[in-house]
Amino acid sequence: MIKFPNPDIIADAINSYGNAPSTDTLTKVLEAFSILMQEAAEVLIPVVEEDEQVSLLTLMNENNQTFVIGFTSEYQAKAAGYDTTISRRWTDYLSMILEIEGCAGLCVNPGDKFPFSIQKLMINALIAESEKEAFKNSISLFKGDITTLKVDCIVNAANNSLLGGGGVDGAIHAAAGPDLLAECRILQGCPTGQAKITNGYKLPAKYVIHTVGPIYNVNSEDPRHTQERTELGSCYRSCLELAKVFHIHSIAFPCISCGAYGYPLDEATKIAFIETVQWLNENPNYGMQVTFVCFNDEAYNVYETVINKAQNPDPDAPNFMTLFAGMAQGQAKN
Ligand code: APR
C-alpha cells in the first residue's frame, strides 16, 4: 500500500516508530524534532481558559506520572478532541516543561494511534541537539550520478505523465525500484513548471521531487523564449517551495530540460541560478543546501563558470550575479 509523504514529519516519524520500534526509527523521531526546533516551528498546546486564566491540560500515564500535551498539527488536535489550543515554538515549550514541578515530560499527539511520551531527560537532549549548528543556505556543484546522492531530496526531470522515461528520469526510476512508479501512477501527472513529491524508496535520498521542464522550441517566434524561460524558472522555484513544506534541507537538481528537452545549457544554467539564488535570498534563515548535479564535464564547466562569475562579480556583469554575492557558497566539489 502506497504511503504518501507526510509534511507532518514528527507525526510521520512517530507512526513509523510505533509500527516498528527500533533505534533507527526512534532516531528518526528525534531528528524530526530537531529539524522543527531548528526551523523555530510551533507546537499546538491544548489549554483551558477560565476567568482570563490559561492553564495547561495534562495527562496521567499508567505509572501515575503527569505529562503536558503537544500536537504536531491542527488535524491531530481536533482528532483528539481538543479545540482550544495556543501555539508556541517547540524549543520554548520544551524548555518551559523542564521548569514545571511534578511534570514528567510531554505527550505528543495523545489522540493518535501511537502517542509518544518524552521524559525530561530526553527533552534536555533535544534542546541541546537543536542548539547545534543551524542549517545554512548554500549552493554547491557535484559531478556524477544524482541517484547516488544521500540528500533529503533529489529532483527528477520528468515528463508530464510522471510515468518514467530515459535520461535522469530513467536512472532515478531504475535506482528507486518499482514502488516509485506505483506511487507516480497515483499522482496523475504533473503540468510543466510544477512539481510533485514522492518517497525515494531504494534511493539514498528520502524523497524525489518530480518536475517537468519545458521543451525548448528552436523555432519559437519569440527570440527570448519567454515562455520556456518562465516555465524552467518555475521548475526550480516549485521544487524549492515544495521542499520547504516537507522540511527538506538538502536538495539536488539535475540540469532540468538540458537533455532530451533541448534547452541550451548556458541559458538554462543562468535561469537555474537566478531562480535558486532569489529563493534562497527570500528564505535567508531557512537553511537549504542546494546541489547542482552535472552528469558530464561540459555541464560542470558551465556551472562552474557561473559560480565563479557570481563569486567575483564583474562590475559590468548582469545584476543577477550580485544576487549571489554574500551567499554561503558551497565549493564546487567533485
Ligand atoms: N544523474 C544526473 N544527471 C543526469 C543523469 C544522472 N543519472 N542522467 C542524465 N542526466 C542529465 C543529462 O545529462 C541532462 O543534463 O540530466 C539532464 C537532463 O536530461 P534529461 O534526463 O534528458 O531530461 P530533460 O532534458 O528534462 O528531458 C526530460 O526526458 O527522460 C525523459 O522522461 C523524461 O520525457 C522526459 C524528458
Could you count the other beta carbons within 10 Å of the beta carbon of residue 112?
18
256 lines ligand 1 (CB under 6 A): yes
Residue minimizing CA distance to atom 30 of ligand 1: 166
Question: Which atom belonging to ligand 1 lies closest to the Cα atom of 157?
Answer: 26
Task: Determine the pLDDT at residue 316.
Answer: 64
Question: What DSSP element (H or E) covers 103?
Answer: strand 103-108
169 lines ligand 1 (CB under 6 A): yes
Regarding beta strands 116-119 and 85-89, do their DSSP bridges make them parallel or antiparallel, or are they unpaired?
unpaired
Could you count the other beta carbons within 10 Å of the beta carbon of residue 209?
27
295 lines ligand 1 (CB under 6 A): yes
Task: Give which of 242, 146, 228, 258 is closest to 194, Cα–Cα.
Answer: 242
Grid cell in block for residue 213: 521542464
**Are 233 and 278 a contacting pair, CB within 8 Å?**
no
How far, in Å, from the CA of 319 to the mean position of ligand 1? 29
**Intervals of the chain under pLDDT 70:** 313-334
Task: Determine the pLDDT at residue 311.
Answer: 74
Task: Determine the pLDDT at residue 126.
Answer: 92
Q: Return the DSSP state at 114.
A: S
Place of cell 523555530: 40
- Site to probe by mutation for ligand 1, drawn from 141, 154, 168 as the one with most ligand atoms within 8 Å of Cβ, is 168
Say which amino acid occupies 9. I
Task: Give which of 238, 300, 230 is closest to 269, Cα–Cα.
Answer: 300
Grid cell in block for residue 26: 526512534
Task: Determine the pLDDT at residue 10.
Answer: 97
Task: Determine the pLDDT at residue 315.
Answer: 66
163 lines ligand 1 (CB under 6 A): no
Task: Determine the pLDDT at residue 200.
Answer: 98
